[in-house]
């Protein structure tokens, strides 16, 4: 799908894309790159001063010449491989933060069959606005009178940009009239039931609950609350799409538990040195409840939560 401001699929201006959106949490790729440089210099030292290092190893461990040469060669190889790994990680994080984010955003907007019929769309955890603006571009191209709302989390440890900064990127993309941005808690979305035709999110939900620990049951429950809220604010017949790392299969299972239709998990894409997928789904137009069944999108019942806890701990710990 084409983007705005000269970012068409045939000739993407990556320099401009990075200039508009910047790199969120740029300290991570910089840290990896600096460490890669350090290990590279260390491996070069092993190569240039191999014989003196062999003597040093021999004197330090009291080993014979053959053992000392093996040890020096082994550690030199490890430092070189570590440098390569660090450079790869830095490149992947830098690429994932903007270029891959933009690419996956185009795939997400492509999952909605008819943007001209969309009146209200929501981007949960809009960040710098890459997906938010991709949605706005589609609304503009389709001639829709719709608008997209970007939710910027109010919780400080999520490190989300301010709504003003996000709206600035919309202005740079020429879609500011299609975009609004407001702060809010993704676990209790400040919108009424069934308000949005489309709900999307990109590389955000995995951050929710991190204050409880990366692999804790409490964190998993918080992420499920976000998925439940996305379903709650989606209109019957509406389309949802979530791109996220590591936990996407859990979201798909939760959506199936909530009786969503057309739940699909995309092929694996490496993002931020982790597995990522796009999960798409459609909210059923009608749902018939039994005499003792209540509509509850907010989260799983206590028994499934306990079961999920045991499965989560078994898989990841």
Q: Domain spans of the chain?
A: 26-94, 114-283
Chain-centroid distance of CA 293 in Å reads 34
pLDDT, mean of residues 252-264: 96
pLDDT exceeds cutoff 70 at 48: yes
The domain defined by 114-283 carries CATH number 3.40.47.10: no
More confident residue, 43 or 3: 43
Give residue 235's pLDDT band: very low, low, confident or very high (50, 70, 90): very high
User: What is the residue-averaged pLDDT of the chain?
Assistant: 85
Give residue 7's pLDDT band: very low, low, confident or very high (50, 70, 90): very low
pLDDT in tens, 131-158: 999 999 999 999 989 999 999 987 665 6
Of 78, 83, 85, 125, which Cα lies nearest the Cα of 105? 125
Of 219, 246, 235, which Cα lies nearest the Cα of 297? 235
Q: What burial class does residue 176 get, using C-beta atoms within 10 Å of its C-beta: 0-12 exposed, 13-18 middle, 19+ buried?
A: middle
pLDDT in tens, 274-308: 999 999 999 999 754 443 334 555 544 333 333 34
pLDDT in tens, 96-124: 999 999 999 999 999 999 999 999 999 99
More confident residue, 46 or 300: 46
Give residue 266's pLDDT band: very low, low, confident or very high (50, 70, 90): very high
């Amino acid at each position: 799908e084409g983007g705005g401001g000269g970012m068409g699929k045939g000739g993407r201006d990556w320099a401009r894309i990075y200039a508009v959106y910047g790199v969120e949490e740029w300290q991570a790729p910089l840290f990896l790159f600096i460490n890669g440089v350090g290990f590279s210099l260390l491996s070069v030292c092993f190569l240039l001063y191999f014989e003196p290092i062999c003597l040093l190893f021999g004197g330090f461990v009291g080993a014979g010449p053959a053992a000392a040469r093996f040890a020096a060669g082994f550690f030199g190889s490890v430092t070189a491989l570590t440098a390569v790994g660090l450079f790869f990680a830095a490149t992947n994080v830098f690429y994932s933060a903007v270029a891959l984010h933009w690419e996956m955003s185009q795939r997400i907007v492509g999952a909605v069959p008819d943007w001209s019929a969309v009146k209200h769309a929501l981007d949960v955890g809009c960040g710098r606005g890459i997906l938010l603006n991709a949605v706005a571009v589609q609304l503009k191209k389709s001639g829709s009178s719709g608008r997209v709302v970007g939710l910027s989390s109010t919780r400080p440890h999520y490190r989300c940009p301010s709504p003003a900064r996000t709206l600035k990127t919309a202005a740079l993309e020429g879609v500011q009239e299609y975009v609004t941005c407001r702060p809010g808690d993704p676990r209790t979305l400040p919108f009424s039931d069934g308000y949005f035709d489309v709900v999307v999110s990109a590389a955000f939900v995995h951050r929710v609950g991190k204050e409880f620990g990366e692999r804790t049951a409490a964190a998993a429950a918080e992420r499920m609350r976000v998925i439940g809220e996305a379903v709650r604010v989606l209109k019957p017949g509406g389309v949802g799409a979530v791109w996220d790392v590591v936990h996407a299969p859990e979201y798909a299972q939760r959506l199936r538990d909530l009786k969503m239709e057309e739940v699909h998990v995309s092929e694996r894409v490496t993002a931020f040195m982790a597995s990522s997928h796009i999960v798409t789904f459609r909210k059923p137009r009608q749902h018939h409840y039994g005499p003792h069944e209540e509509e509850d999108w907010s989260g799983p019942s206590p028994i499934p939560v306990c079961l999920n806890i045991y499965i989560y701990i078994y898989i990841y710990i």
